[in-house]
Structure 1
């Protein structure tokens, strides 16, 4: 008993060891190891997970413990002050917390005469190197990237922000997985009400596990807002992007086992923004940004607008005669464009699942055989193939997969409406696109078009033009 609170552990180390062996089901887990050591004449039981342990560190600690005298371990306070040379140590008096700590890779020690366990955080996780992510590459800038280890990811951001007001709060989600989630923000820049709201939502999540890491967390945070395809969150695997977001007053969320950081709150301008915009002078950065905006709009409107003109050849001026279909059309143009939309996705999925050594020859086969014979057989006309190829390449002008598929869905809807309702259908497609952007629900409650709606010129100017970063001006 301490302050009227019943402890899970007794002063008998043997009882504590037996309790932990039962809770950890050690008879069914070969990788959970247990070892007994004599420390200052007292029995001590160590629990740890094989593969999560820094063996060199633990060997040195064992040597130190075996050299302790009886007075060094007369009570837990003396032991922590005199007999524990390691810094990352804490007391645990709850068996459930001890089980979670051990399964997380922390070594727990139970010493005879102590009614608490001693948690030694000397863990290490299997991790790959912090190489540049293959999707968020830049022409200039740092070449490191997030990995699946939470501590490494937070360290990559903290390395860039040496501010005592930088906070990294850790939370746990998942009744079985007990996944670690970290919220990173700067105390005097972030919206504190939003942080409080976000923490409350995360703590109220009741699921067994975050099976798909950040995606599972995203779906738990916005349970009823998934009809609209436009992304509610911005994801990045770049530490510099995450650090810039934190310095701009945003919250960056990390989920253990995921190399992607979630940036909140998010507007459409945030999703379209990329690191390359800031690694070049303002004029070049502004050009790159506007190029991306224009290309993004073109990916939605190019094929519907071409279909509109093809259906109304009298609208085509002489200088645009070359866009007309030159060959006989065996398959309706709308059906051609829809088939190409699905075929391109099929080729993309095939490329993802193709072994690297075979990707180049298969790409050549797909380009020559499929492309050439699809036209010669009469399935597709060359013009439809050309414009869909332009749209496909243009889709990769921005890094967000989610945004690319959202634009694809809008394009398909606009194509169908244009084919059936002509000019009115084309206009309706654009209106639907704008309404989907305007009414997209975000976790912060702000408009998805912020700072355009509500209008904030100072903020909007920074989204449209590459100016000096806000944190460069203090």
Structure 2
């Protein structure tokens, strides 16, 4: 029945199929005309009275008998190169060439492309839609009277932000360069780090109106062909009028839409993307945003930071262990406090129990309502600090939390211990190097608080079991989300909870690629042994 409904809906939809006459008319309209005036008029009718579209008609050739049209978008086109290499060539230099003296197999368009114009990238095009897309992307269009094709000259240039230090993912030690909003600069930053001919970059255009350029980046002899095919398949299924940020792409291709845990990793650091490509992952770059997407994404990946591999192994392992401890504190600290103080007071030492009872003597709310008020207040202060100007946002959030917490304790609305618990929870949440994981913990914290207030420690245990089952059920492009923990892989534990020395990371993650597992040949050869202490020959 569902299949029949879809079939009937498709038959009744007037936009799914066009009659043959309409299709022929659309194809004719999409092609250029041999009349220059008609092509220019079609451009004017399509673009309206747009003041940034510059259309100039000139005459070229030895006698100036050939009419030509130069069309470009002001603000997106490199005007100096247009004047020096296109207009000057067509109006001055080309007069020395007799364009009518050409071989029979050559037309005037080919002569201009092969002989006259001294620019890097030139493409012939007969489709009006492709001409329009290139024009609005910043290219210069040359149309000739009597020819139903034009030249697309790539000389794009617009105001853009330079390569600066990433603000969302900062490190103490490591590169200070981050992605920009220019797709070509971002691909160059990756190519500069991986100078391998097997680094392939496929480009797609998504968005019927925005025509956003998307780049799929992977190392051909490392990445799994099935995952590359799946990424292309999911991107090709996107049919929307506009893509403005990589988050729009993420919403279409992610595996689990309603899970609080993200199955796609995003970063604005080229070194993170380069390291992920060397492991067999695939990067998706979107023009207009500095954030790149990495797939497949695993749970353990959200606890990894670039400086784990730039510092000494002991320091990296210690910091990563600290992140896991902070994750548990930020997830369960308020829930455990509510459960113990409400249902399991006998678990506390008598001195601590008396102290907590004395603090809560004048508090009118139960522990759950008390924690809920403080958590919501801290969330409001956190969001206010992010949205406000940077110069006052941090100071406002710190001062606001201190003033509100102190005033609430003195007014008898909140106990002092609850302020301490919520403060430790909020600070632990900032330890996470991934903003997506921090948001997921913030959401689940309220769920565990409700379970603790309703069922005590039993509710927390049931919630943890449900959380683990949910995590184990997730997949990212066919890869289990909890790997290499579940399913457990012994060889991949070298970069899970601790960081082993880089000269011991011989193999890549096994589930990421099925082609080239070997990262380096021999760990003993890569790590030279210190020389033995030998006695001098003359010593006794």
- Smaller-chain TM-score range? over 0.9
3-state DSSP of counterpart to 2:51: coil
Give the aligned length.
465
CA contact 2:345–2:353 (8 Å) conserved in 1: no
| CA–CA distance in structure 2, aligned partners of residues 54 and 11 of structure 1 | 28
Aligned ranges for residues 239-278 of structure 1 at < 5 Å?
Answer: 239-278=270-309
Selected match of 1:218 from 205, 225, 250? 250
Structure 2 unaligned segments of length 5 or more: list them: 1-26, 103-107, 509-517, 522-540
CA contact 2:238–2:252 (8 Å) conserved in 1: yes
Q: TM-score, normalised by structure 1?
A: 0.92
| CA–CA distance in structure 2, aligned partners of residues 450 and 308 of structure 1 | 32
Q: Does 1:43 align with 2:67?
A: yes
| CA–CA distance in structure 1, aligned partners of residues 417 and 60 of structure 2 | 81
CA contact 2:202–2:215 (8 Å) conserved in 1: yes
| CA–CA distance in structure 2, aligned partners of residues 393 and 387 of structure 1 | 10
CA contact 2:340–2:456 (8 Å) conserved in 1: no
Moved more, 299-308 or 184-193: 299-308
Structural RMSD (CA): 2.2
Structure 1 unaligned segments of length 5 or more: list them: none
Q: Does 1:81 align with 2:114?
A: yes
| CA–CA distance in structure 2, aligned partners of residues 92 and 406 of structure 1 | 49
Shift of 1:33: 1.4
Shift of 1:461: 2.4
Shift of 1:352: 2.0
CA contact 2:387–2:393 (8 Å) conserved in 1: no
CA contact 1:300–1:410 (8 Å) conserved in 2: yes
1:68: which partner in 2? 94
User: Aligned in 2, Cα 1:196/1:298: closer, same or farther, shift over 3 Å?
Assistant: same
Tell me the alpha carbon deviations over residues 90-127 of structure 1, each in whole angstroms, 9 at most, x when there is no partner. Answer: 11111011111111111111123433111111101321
2:32: which partner in 1? 9
Shift of 1:140: 0.6
3-state DSSP of counterpart to 1:464: coil
CA contact 2:340–2:457 (8 Å) conserved in 1: no
3-state DSSP of counterpart to 2:203: strand
1:161: which partner in 2? 194
| CA–CA distance in structure 2, aligned partners of residues 248 and 257 of structure 1 | 26
CA contact 1:127–1:149 (8 Å) conserved in 2: yes
Q: Does 1:22 align with 2:45?
A: yes
Shift of 1:322: 8.8
Q: Does 1:54 align with 2:78?
A: yes
Tell me the alpha carbon deviations over residues 401-445 of structure 1, each in whole angstroms, 9 at most, x when there is no partner. Answer: 221121122221111111111121121121122122112343x02
| CA–CA distance in structure 2, aligned partners of residues 127 and 399 of structure 1 | 28
1:421: which partner in 2? 455
CA contact 2:368–2:449 (8 Å) conserved in 1: yes
2:183: which partner in 1? 150
CA contact 1:232–1:441 (8 Å) conserved in 2: yes
Moved more, 78-87 or 112-121: 112-121
CA contact 1:410–1:429 (8 Å) conserved in 2: no
Moved more, 30-39 or 164-173: 30-39
Tell me the alpha carbon deviations over residues 323-344 of structure 1, each in whole angstroms, 9 at most, x when there is no partner. Answer: 8354123211111111222111
Tell me the alpha carbon deviations over residues 7-27 of structure 1, each in whole angstroms, 9 at most, x when there is no partner. Answer: 8123433332223222332x2
CA contact 1:325–1:381 (8 Å) conserved in 2: no
1:390: which partner in 2? 424
| CA–CA distance in structure 2, aligned partners of residues 361 and 352 of structure 1 | 11
3-state DSSP of counterpart to 1:48: strand
2:369: which partner in 1? 335
Tell me the alpha carbon deviations over residues 215-241 of structure 1, each in whole angstroms, 9 at most, x when there is no partner. Answer: 11111224x832211111111011110
User: Aligned in 2, Cα 1:314/1:91: closer, same or farther, shift over 3 Å?
Assistant: same
